[in-house]
Structure 1
Amino acid sequence: MRPDAADAPGALDLDKLFAARLHAARARPYLATALFALHTVESRQVPTMGVDRYWRCYVSPAFVDRTPVEDLAGVWVHEVSHLLRDHHGRSDRVARERGLTGPGERLRMNIAADCEINDDVYGDGLVRPQGAVRPKTLGLPEGQLMEDYLRQFRLGLRTQSLAWLDCGSGADGLEREWELGPDGAHGLSAQERDAVRFRVAQGLKGRPGKAPDGWQRWAEEVFHPPQPWRELLGAAVRSAASGPGAGEDYTYGRPSRRSAGVAGIVLPSIRRRPPRVCVIIDTSGSVSDAELGSALIEVAAISRAVGGRSDLVTVVPCDAAARIAHPLCRAEGIPLVGGGGTDLRTGFAKALRTRPRPDVVVVLTDGQTPWPATRPPCRTVVGLFPRQQTGWSWDENDPDYVPDSPPAWARVVDIG
């Protein structure tokens, strides 16, 4: 895959290039739809082959001339893997979240994305191209994702030989000057790109055991995309805490301007104060230790979502009975006592009896509980832990029993 400094100009050998694509489709039939969806663009600026996010494949004529068909087939699969795994979109998200800017960081994302692809994509009829970056090249373990690899290496001595690497914006999200851009010809629309991914995922699901673990994991996520649940939960709490009525109270310290229209009567004005949040944590026997640990992490995140004021957050552990409402000092110091049955109605009652009364109640539970019959006088956010459906029953004594869903007045976020 590494370019040669002695490249000579010449016409692109399409016969050889397309023969390599056919070889790739035969070696990896589940990727055929994606391989033939790519539109080829001849380019002497791209070092080898590269893709943009619109599913155009830019090809160096000199690279095709000097590379065997079997190696070219591996490059075809490598480049289309960047697009199928949405490395451009994921790189953009990582750049925003971690504040990564500049071409150096984008090169690091390209290297990390290559590590994700190259650890299991070759072999079984597909030759690994010369110079392909593998995790062990950087002393890293195999089987991880681009985001994981990014945390484990920096540009330095081990990556000096990779400065030439350029798989295009389809690998790292940074547009190149040699790309045609969103208005260029032969690009796929967002709907067409999603349709290609779905067809490839269908092919993978229809061939169990025939594809590497990385591709099987990818296909599962295409059909069941993971929710960014921490962002959703934080947004739900912030929305509930900032809505009308939350954190509002009357005060005579600053009379209402309407008092001027009512002779002899002083009307109070509305004062906005920081909202108070009470977190009810399900500590029943059906909730695992890992989920309880996750709940404590979310308590700290909820505190940050309301401005970092730990004095405004209380925690109520609850199984069949609610216990002490603990003020939040450190999430790790909250005793999560329980292990019996579940009745979060007692948790709601305990939360609403705390003084001062909360403006928002957040419930972290597996959902195996009865819910209050009436809407509480405050906003409610429910974080639901996942429950495995295969070989697992809600109630050993009644296999047909299914607990009630959270009520319509609660904002529900699936956790994990």
Structure 2
Amino acid sequence: MRRDAPGPAPAPTPEPAPATPAALDREKLFAARLHAARARPYLATALFALHTVESRRVPTMAVDRYWRCYVSPAFVDRTLVEELAGVWVHEVSHLLRDHHGRGDRVARERGLTGPGERLRMNIAADCEINDDIYGDGLVRPEGAVVPASLGLPAGLLMEDYLRRFGLVPLTQSIAWLDCGSGADGLDRAWDLGPEGADGLSEQERDAVRFRVAQGITGLPGSAPSGWRRWAEDAFHPPQPWRELLGAAVRSAASGPGVGEDYSYGRPSRRSAGVPGVVLPSLRRRPPRVCVVIDTSGSVSDTELGSALLEVAAISRAVGGRRDMVTVVPCDASARIVHPLCRGEGIPLVGGGGTDLRTGFATALRTRPHPDVVVVLTDGQTPWPATSPACRTVVGLFPRRHSSVNEDDPDYVPDTPPDWARVVEIG
């Protein structure tokens, strides 16, 4: 055997297998959620309502409007439990404060389109949240945006912050920010959508918000001012009162029997069955509306001006027939009935006490009789003991204090009667 004969070729060195991406450390993630719930117990219901979805497409953590929380495994690995707790609270805050719905509304109203504007919304929403949620056992995560970092004051809402900054060099360091569609309303590629698994229905989302608001109002002084303001709005949401007032007037004016009367202008078809007799037909005319305006001293000039604007809106609500609308100024006594020809020319004279019973009596004596009586008042008045023979709508000006009688500190004004449809104005 020759010594210089070549031996067998060495086996090739195998290439190292690609590293398997680490799975999501759910134990660490859920430990952080428990820490968040202990630090902010009034948010526990919302924190445990979130459904976790592992996603390697998410930079950190993000939420969608259906209360799914998308989590990056790499982000969980490199982040301390204490900071993860702060991220949990931050993300669920976007959903509780309806930043996705508000972002959609702002985009429509202001014509904001494109990812750049949605990034501004995300930053503005973060400023609203981060100005007062950290501290007291909750660590602020690294890179969290606060208003001071953009030279902005604390305590504003997302809509206010949006007007105060643009995408300038100061915001370049946070261009990576992405809290998901739950923060600005713009769908992401990783979203499972409305048909995906484990999303909350609209009713379930509302129930979670209500439970959290109950927890905040039930423990006064334990929540930051931003959360107390949110809880108050959750229990008493702002209402589009002009639309509500117009709808109430239209509903009252279109009720059964309103504006209906028999007329010989067009004989009834049943006359053919009664030879020699002409029967009237039931016709519907535009409803007549009488507006009683409280002109007492407790109603400000601004509110009186607003009342005149509402009179014009009421005329539009019943089809624009100004000749079918009359106005009665009233304080302790009711004065003459003014036809609505030009709302700005109606003299609202008064300034004394308030007794709208006389206003009702004057309105009901009007000929022809009104089909609907609308009362614009601050509510500091006695009311008729019985329901008038027509529909009634009451528009109430807001009042901070119920006791306005200096001679009787315990005085509490009567509330509007049950037979009236009441709409809060302002």
Q: Kindly tell me the number of residue pairs found equivalent between the two proteins.
A: 405
Alpha-carbon RMSD: 3.9
SS in 2 for 1:31: helix
CA offset at residue 58 of structure 1? 0.8
* Equivalent residue number for residue 277 of structure 1: 289
Alignment of 1:21-40 (within 5 A): 21-40=33-52
**Cross-structure match for 1:413:** 423
Q: Structure 2 CA distance, aligned partners of 1:256 and 1:347?
A: 38
Q: How far apart in 2 are the matches of 1:405 and 1:62?
A: 60
Structure 1 residue 384 corresponds to structure 2 residue 396: yes
Find the residue that maps to 1:298 and give its secondary structure: helix
CA–CA distance in structure 2, aligned partners of residues 188 and 303 of structure 1: 43
The equivalent residue for 1:48 is: 60
Are 1:17 and 2:17 matched, yes or no? no
**2:33–2:88: 8 Å Cα contact kept in structure 1?**
yes
CA shift, 1:183, in A, is 4.9
Q: 1:348 aligns with which of 360, 365, 388?
A: 360
User: Residue 392 of structure 2 aligns to a residue in which SS?
Assistant: strand
1:242, distance to aligned residue in structure 2 (A): 2.2
For the pair 1:265 / 2:280, whether they are aligned, the reply is: no
**Higher radius of gyration, 1 or 2:** 2
- TM-score if structure 1 supplies the norm length? 0.78
| Residues 129-186 of structure 1: per-residue CA shift (max 9 Å, x gap) | 4554555677765433345556x37976689857765433433455545333445444
Change in Cα spacing, 1:325 to 1:221, as seen in structure 2 (3 Å) is same
Q: TM-score, normalised by structure 2?
A: 0.76
Deviation at 1:189, TM superposition (A): 5.2
Query: How far, CA to CA, are the matches of 2:178 and 2:319 in structure 1?
Result: 42
Mapped partners of 2:193, 2:282: distance in 1: 52
Shift of 1:81: 0.5
**1:386–1:414 CA contact under 8 A, matched in 2:** yes
TM-fit CA distance, 1:346 = 2.0
Match of 1:393 in 2: 403
| Equivalent residues of 1:138, 1:158 under 8 A apart | no
- The CA distance in 2 between the partners of 1:49 and 1:407, in whole Å, is 52
User: Contact (CA 8 Å) 1:25, 1:35: kept in 2 or not?
Assistant: yes
Partner of 2:349: 337
Match of 1:323 among 328, 335, 344: 335
Query: In structure 1, what is the Cα distance between the partners aligned to 2:218 and 2:419?
Result: 41
In 2, Cα distance between equivalents of 1:294 and 1:281: 11
The 1:242/1:199 distance shift into structure 2, 3 A limit, reads: closer
Do 1:345 and 1:370's aligned partners in 2 also have CA atoms closer than 8 Å? Answer: yes
**Which secondary structure does the structure 2 equivalent of 1:393 belong to?**
coil
Runs of 5+ consecutive residues of structure 1 not aligned to the other structure: 1-7
Please tell me the residue identity of whatever aligns with 2:350: G
Inter-CA distance 20–398: structure 2 relative to 1 (3 Å threshold): same
For 1:361, which of 366, 373, 382 is the aligned residue? 373
Answer whether contact 1:319 1:342 (CA < 8 A) is retained: yes
Q: Which moved more, 1:111-120 or 1:229-238?
A: 111-120
- Cα distance per residue 1:256-296 (max 9 Å; x no partner): 32222222233333444433322212122333455445434
Of 121-130 and 27-36, deviating more is 121-130
- 1:176-195 to structure 2, matched below 5 A, reads 176-188=188-200, 192-195=204-207
Aligned to 2:7: none
Retained in 1: the 8 A contact 2:120–2:167?
Answer: no
Q: CA deviation at 1:225?
A: 4.4
Deviating more after overlay: 236-245 vs 395-404: 395-404
Contact 2:375 2:393 in 1 (8 A): yes
In the aligned structure 2, how far is the partner of 1:24 from the partner of 1:82?
15
Q: Which residue of 1 aligns with 2:216?
A: 204
Which residue of structure 2 aligns with residue 4 of structure 1?
none
* Residues 382 and 134 of structure 1, relative CA distance in 2, 3 Å threshold: same
Aligned to 2:11: none
Distance verdict in 2 for CA 1:322–1:103, change over 3 Å = farther
The equivalent residue for 1:64 is: 76
Q: Whole-Å Cα distance in 2 between the matches of residues 48 and 404 of structure 1?
A: 56
- 2:317 corresponding residue in structure 1: 305
Q: Given the superposition, is the C-alpha separation of residues 264 and 149 from structure 1 closer, same or farther in structure 2, using an over 3 Å criterion?
A: farther
C-alpha change, 1:342 and 1:180, in structure 2 (3 Å) is: same
Question: C-alpha distance in 2, partners of 1:330/1:142?
Answer: 46
Percent identity for Structure 1 against Structure 2: 82
Q: Is the 8 A contact 1:343 1:370 kept in 2?
A: yes
Indicate the residue corresponding to 1:215 in structure 2. Answer: 227
* Partner secondary structure for residue 254 of structure 1: strand
Structure 2 alignment gaps of length 5 or more = 1-19
Q: Quick check: 1:75 aligned with 2:91?
A: no
What displacement does 1:121 show? Answer: 2.7
Q: 1:13 to 1:226 in 2, by over 3 A?
A: same
Residue 301 of structure 1: CA displacement? 3.6
Amino acid at match of 1:218: W
Q: Is the 8 A contact 2:106 2:112 kept in 1?
A: no
